[in-house]
Chain A
Amino acid sequence: MAMMTFAAIDIGAYEVSMKIFELSRKVGFKELNDVRYRLEVGNDSYTRGKLSPEMVDYLCEILTDFKRMMLEFGVTEYRACATSAFRELKNPLIVLEQIYRRTEIRVEILSNAEQHFIGYKSIAAIENGFKKMIQKGTAILDVGGGSLQVSLFDKDALVTTQNLKMGSLRIRERLKELEKTTIHYDQLVEEFIRNDLVSFQRLYLKDRDVKNVILMGDFLTDTIFQEDMEDRILTKAEFLNRYENTAYKPVQQLSDEMGIDPEYASLVVPTMVIIKNFIDIFNAESLWAPGVSLLDGIAYDFAERKKYLKSAHNFENDILVASRNIAKRYSSGKNHIQGTTEVALAIFDSTKKVHGMGQRERLLLQIAVQLHDCGKYINMGDVSECSYQIIMETEIIGLSTEERYIIANAVRYNKEEFKYRSGFEYDDAMDNEKYLLIAKLAAILRLANAMDRSHYQKVEGIKTELKDRKLSMILDSNRDLSLELGLLKDKVDFFEEVFGIRLALRRKKKA
């Protein structure tokens, strides 16, 4: 189809919003409707861990309206995402099911990493500014209601990304009582967040030079700066000027001046203080607020997957660089990873017809290879379990929690005995589909890893050929491969068990 309409929904900490887009190869994407409702979902979830029945009612009412608006534009596909307000619920699944039953809208909860990766995609979609900017040291600051995300870029790629629980709504709620005791609310906020900021600075900002800050966020950040910026870029001096003009004003005045609801206005000062403090610790020179939201990112992500537009930036590379950085932190051998990756991808690519996995799974495999022995850093005697734990506890931008779970398990079964599943057991996180994917990835990982058992990268080149049900691998090597080949048998057996292909290995001496 040449043209379609798509809806992106975001259930945020303090507002529920939807944008409807028209997607076509010709024009990319065009916004048709932008609708927001102020609903402090985060209020309930941060303080009680549950949503009140009234809140669920409200939410369902809004989503029902959204559903109708989708029909009005003939929307055929949508993606509805909830973020931190839902992540902090004790009973998210119950609420989601209720929402689905009442509105027929399936809402998914984005992991923090996914959420910010999508948000970040929306910035990258604005091609020119972004590309130029990330050549220099750049930080993306995404200030939400519940938390903020800070991501550091250097030389065209993502270096690190961290989530700090200091969103505007959360700060406001925590300081509600104290607010009355001071006339310097901004200082109160500043003190409240300082500790976390200092830790962040110590851990991640050593020898980093951050010149630019890209400000992401939602409607609010957009509103705060809308008048100041013709080109949406503020210098540090301009920002500080704006800060002075804002931080001391009472909520009602801000609400009047900015023409926004007082409830939104009460989030302005916390947001400003956060931004100011980051600019301070970065010592950044300029601030860019491209005015995009998670909704644009969701649409961009969808359009990219459905090939309505060509990617402006290599996002897979960002994920790989981010996971490489994690491997580096745990001192994994760079060369071994490199060698293993080559073998693993060679196997993956030549057996596509057999395993039926796609591009995304290929990426997961690459990450699994990168992180497969990070656990060594903790305990050489229990690499599998330690690697598993590290992966489960580390955020990898761009990956969903489920994907991380799959990688962690593939890595675990690289060494550990594979735990079979009949398909009838009950397991919280595992379902049959995931189980099979883990088995496939683990089978390839085991084989590839074993080929570089000695970590000497003895194999210099691989040729693979799949014929009938036999995969021939011709290894270029002038070195003795007896260790690798000798230990390979059980891996080959598992590979055959999973894919039904027999592996035949041959060594070819290089001339």
Chain B
Amino acid sequence: MDPKEYKEFEKPEYFVNRELSWLKFDARVLSEARDKSLPLFERLKFLSITSSNLDEFYMVRVASLKDQVHAGYAKEDIAGMTAKEQLKKISIETHELVQTQYSTLNRSLLPALEKAGMHFIMEHESMTEEQAAFVDRYFEDEVYPVLTPMAMDSSRPFPLIRNKSLNIGALISKKDKKKGKEKDKEKDKVVFATVQVPSVLPRVIVVPSAKEGETTVILLEEIIRRNIGKLFLSYEVVCADAYRIMRNADLTIDEDEAEDLLVEIQKQLKKRQWGEVIRLEAAEKMDPRLLSILKEEFAIKDEDIFFIPGPLDLTLLMKVYGQEGYDQYKEPKYTPAPVPAFQNDKNIFEVIREGDVFLHHPYMSFDPVVNFIRQSAKDPDVLAIKQTLYRVSGNSPIIAALAQAAENGKQVSVLVELKARFDEENNIVWAKMLEKAGCHVIYGLVGLKTHSKITLVVRREDTGIRRYVHLATGNYNDSTAKLYTDCGIFTCDERIGEDATAVFNMLSGYSEPKHWNKLIVAPIWMKNRFLMLIDREAENAKKGIPSSITAKMNSLCDPLIIAALYHASSCGVKINLLVRGICCLKVGIPGVSENIHVRSIVGNFLEHGRIFHFENGGGDEFYMGSADWMPRNLDRRVEIVFPVEDDRIREELRHILDLEFKDNVKAHILQPDGTYEKQDKRGKVLINSQMEFCREATEKAMKHEQKIENSRVFIPAEPVE
């Protein structure tokens, strides 16, 4: 079908604004923090995640909307909202979200912590003498030396406050040394001062407990607040309160924006207000005089101010989670199970030659992926290793193995994506390291982020050159592979091997191949392919041939894809979607999306895999890959989606999708009114898909282990002559 024909399904009222949909996702994470059936410390973790999520959301998305407003960009989004309207709505919803965050903390989590034996000192005045002495001593020894208090008066301008930093603002006035009228005048004159809460020191400090067996903690800012007088010796401190700002300081323009917008903003770059403050968080009880100074200096509007009834920046809860002990309040740590195919002494290439190998992380271990590179580095027959790297872990064994391979004389080419958001600096550092080791480092294509996850190993064998390929939905990051649910395959299918070579040619700036054998590559080819696949189901449904689409992804917001799904649904295609995050699609619109079911699983692991299934009249097609159905993935990134043709692996994928649709513990179902609701569990067998996958993976690995043990044959010794 011609994309133009989707027009009738592209009405703004059929779409949800993506930012508002994202806020709903953060709310779903928050609902995990509110779920009393979860262990307490897990709930702290979820609350912490909502907070860091929100920070990122502001820095990237809200900043970008502000840019649009400044640039006078009045175009509406798919849901028919202008940037101004979006900002307004975001402000309202975010304020509600923050309210819920703190009511959860104050009413539910802190009391529960108290019960669990962890006492939070929220106000320093409530400390015992012993605690107070400890804290003051700590201030003098550790904190005071790294503080840089700054005051503002007629000769000193307002100091620069760093983005995302936690600060204490104070009003101070000269102590009375003078007499009479003059004294009063001086005293009335308050001066603004501020000090940054140093990020080099731990935010959560354990102090001596009043009761045996309890842990008592205080926050760093409270220690500073208590001792703030020591910073301004000849002054009196009128008030001191914490605040935190977020700036539109991101140098890059968010790639999620439409191309015409990017052009517009680039044209108006001068107008962009660098470092503009876009959010102010202030302690709820902040002195109004202090607040008005901040408001004026940061030129911030009321709707961008958040009054916080508790500690600012809840990522501190992650530190609480990391406190020793309290294991009974945490989910038992899951150890990824060995991958059965590799539970033997065979070399990895031999295993892959025997058939494609499927990996499901974090249920299965990520080690085979690291080993793939390690063995390739050592294997005398390996000629070359090529890999795309987007985000890697701090002390990445993959990077070490790549460097080793280069040192062993292998041809190593690594694509390092410098545009990976928030990882830019990190990536430059190890890119240089790889170069030093002799790797050929390429930095991707101008204007396109390389998001695909692919590794190619070229090996010379008796029968000729053979290419081994690893394709995945997640990054080559051994740390996140323990937390994100992702899939991958190893294969030595020649057609995929040839495509893999072509991908790396393309990434080095060479022309695209005349045709792709198997891989579907964005930006050029992928969107149309998906549209074609969706449309084929629609055509089948019209003819009465069995048709359905089941897809799992992180986000769904491409208008054309959504319109195609609406069209397919209106033709009678059953569409089941697992969309963890943003979903701009609406369900249950009569005649448009009645056949679409959307659910979002928010669990202990971050759902991250992308799996697509098209029924195709019985000739089922399964795909996996790195791309979400978002414009940025389909139009502005290098992504790879690959077909899964091995029957065993197709069954695994079918099982994964099935089980996730049976999940009634962690799944939130999208309702026609745009809200998400959990299922009614009464009278049902509880199914938590993530837990189930853990159990299955462990069981499979054990079974395999036993099989090996059982098959052991003892060989009788030969008599000695």
Interface residues of A (CB under 8 A from B): 3, 5, 15, 22, 24, 27, 30, 32-38, 65, 68-69, 71-74, 219, 222-223, 226, 259, 261
Q: Identify which of residues 433-485 in chain B touch chain A, using a CB-to-CB cut-off of 8 Å.
A: 440, 458, 460, 464-465
Instruction: Across the interface, name the chain A residue whose C-beta is closest to B381.
Output: A74
**Which of A30, A68, A74 gathers the greatest number of chain B CB atoms within 10 Å?**
A74
A37 touches B514 (CB 8 A): no
Interface residues of B (CB under 8 A from A): 383-384, 386, 411, 413, 440, 458, 460, 464-465, 498, 501-502, 505, 508-511, 513-514, 524
B384 touches A72 (CB 8 A): yes
Instruction: Across the interface, name the chain B residue whose C-beta is closest to A70.
Output: B411
Q: How far is the CB of B45 from chain A (nearest CB, A)?
A: 44
How far apart sit A30 and B466, CA to CA, in the bound complex (Å)?
A: 12
Selected from A3, A24, A36, A72, the residue in CB contact (under 8 A) with B511 is A36
B464 touches A22 (CB 8 A): yes
How far apart sit A30 and B514, CA to CA, in the bound complex (Å)?
A: 16
Say whether, besides A72-B384, A73-B384, A34 and B464 are in contact (CB < 8 Å): no
14 pairs from A and B in contact (CB 8 Å cutoff): A15-B511, A27-B464, A30-B464, A34-B514, A35-B511, A36-B511, A37-B509, A38-B511, A65-B510, A68-B440, A69-B505, A73-B384, A219-B511, A223-B514
Selected from B413, B460, B501, the residue in CB contact (under 8 A) with A33 is B501
Collect the chain B residues with CB atoms within 8 Å of residue A68's CB: 411, 413, 440
Given A32-B501, A72-B386, A72-B411, 4 more pairs with CB closer than 8 A: A15-B511, A27-B464, A32-B465, A33-B501
Collect the chain B residues with CB atoms within 8 Å of residue A219's CB: 511, 514
B510 touches A37 (CB 8 A): yes
A71 touches B464 (CB 8 A): no
Q: How far is the CB of B566 from chain A (nearest CB, A)?
A: 26
A74 touches B508 (CB 8 A): no
Collect the chain B residues with CB atoms within 8 Å of residue A3's CB: 464
Collect the chain A residues with CB atoms within 8 Å of residue B411's CB: 68, 71-72
Selected from B383, B460, B511, the residue in CB contact (under 8 A) with A37 is B511
Collect the chain A residues with CB atoms within 8 Å of residue B386's CB: 72
How far apart sit A69 and B507, CA to CA, in the bound complex (Å)?
A: 13
Q: How far is the CB of A351 from chain B (nearest CB, A)?
A: 42
B465 touches A22 (CB 8 A): yes
B464 touches A74 (CB 8 A): no
Q: How far is the CB of A66 from chain B (nearest CB, A)?
A: 10
B383 touches A71 (CB 8 A): yes
Q: How far is the CB of A363 from chain B (nearest CB, A)?
A: 33
Collect the chain B residues with CB atoms within 8 Å of residue A33's CB: 501, 505
Q: How far is the CB of B181 from chain A (nearest CB, A)?
A: 78
B465 touches A35 (CB 8 A): no
Collect the chain B residues with CB atoms within 8 Å of residue A73's CB: 383-384, 458, 465
How far apart sit A288 and B498, CA to CA, in the bound complex (Å)?
A: 27
Say whether, besides A73-B458, A74-B383, A65 and B464 are in contact (CB < 8 Å): no
Q: How far is the CB of A232 from chain B (nearest CB, A)?
A: 13
How far apart sit A37 and B511, CA to CA, in the bound complex (Å)?
A: 6
Which 6 A-B residue pairs are closest in the complex by CB-CB distance?
A72-B384, A36-B511, A72-B411, A35-B505, A35-B510, A74-B383
Say whether, besides A32-B501, A72-B411, A5 and B510 are in contact (CB < 8 Å): no
Collect the chain B residues with CB atoms within 8 Å of residue A36's CB: 510-511
How far apart sit A71 and B386, CA to CA, in the bound complex (Å)?
A: 13
Q: How far is the CB of A267 from chain B (nearest CB, A)?
A: 14
Selected from A24, A37, A72, the residue in CB contact (under 8 A) with B458 is A72
Q: How far is the CB of A289 from chain B (nearest CB, A)?
A: 13
How far apart sit A36 and B384, CA to CA, in the bound complex (Å)?
A: 20
A259 touches B524 (CB 8 A): yes
Collect the chain A residues with CB atoms within 8 Å of residue B513's CB: 34
Collect the chain A residues with CB atoms within 8 Å of residue B464's CB: 3, 22, 24, 27, 30
Collect the chain B residues with CB atoms within 8 Å of residue A34's CB: 502, 513-514
Instruction: Across the interface, name the chain A residue whose C-beta is closest to B524.
Output: A259
Collect the chain A residues with CB atoms within 8 Å of residue B505's CB: 33, 35, 69
How far apart sit A15 and B464, CA to CA, in the bound complex (Å)?
A: 29
Q: How far is the CB of B245 from chain A (nearest CB, A)?
A: 46
How far apart sit A35 and B506, CA to CA, in the bound complex (Å)?
A: 9
Collect the chain B residues with CB atoms within 8 Å of residue A71's CB: 383-384, 411
Collect the chain B residues with CB atoms within 8 Å of residue A32's CB: 465, 498, 501
How far apart sit A65 and B524, CA to CA, in the bound complex (Å)?
A: 24
How far apart sit A261 and B384, CA to CA, in the bound complex (Å)?
A: 30
Q: How far is the CB of A21 from chain B (nearest CB, A)?
A: 10
Q: How far is the CB of A428 from chain B (nearest CB, A)?
A: 38
**Which of A15, A38, A68, A72 gathers the greatest number of chain B CB atoms within 10 Å?**
A72
Selected from A69, A74, A223, the residue in CB contact (under 8 A) with B465 is A74
Collect the chain B residues with CB atoms within 8 Å of residue A72's CB: 383-384, 386, 411, 413, 458
Instruction: Across the interface, name the chain B residue whose C-beta is closest to A38.
Output: B511
B508 touches A65 (CB 8 A): yes
How far apart sit A501 and B514, CA to CA, in the bound complex (Å)?
A: 59
How far apart sit A74 and B461, CA to CA, in the bound complex (Å)?
A: 11
How far apart sit A36 and B514, CA to CA, in the bound complex (Å)?
A: 10
**Which of B440, B498, B505, B510 gathers the greatest number of chain A CB atoms within 10 Å?**
B510
Q: How far is the CB of B444 from chain A (nearest CB, A)?
A: 15
Instruction: Across the interface, name the chain B residue whose C-beta is closest to A15.
Output: B511
Instruction: Across the interface, name the chain A residue whose C-beta is closest to B460.
Output: A74
How far apart sit A38 and B501, CA to CA, in the bound complex (Å)?
A: 18
How far apart sit A73 and B508, CA to CA, in the bound complex (Å)?
A: 16
How far apart sit A3 and B460, CA to CA, in the bound complex (Å)?
A: 10
Collect the chain A residues with CB atoms within 8 Å of residue B501's CB: 32-33
Collect the chain A residues with CB atoms within 8 Å of residue B440's CB: 68
Instruction: Across the interface, name the chain B residue whose C-beta is closest to A27.
Output: B464
How far apart sit A36 and B510, CA to CA, in the bound complex (Å)?
A: 6
B514 touches A226 (CB 8 A): yes
How far apart sit A360 and B384, CA to CA, in the bound complex (Å)?
A: 38
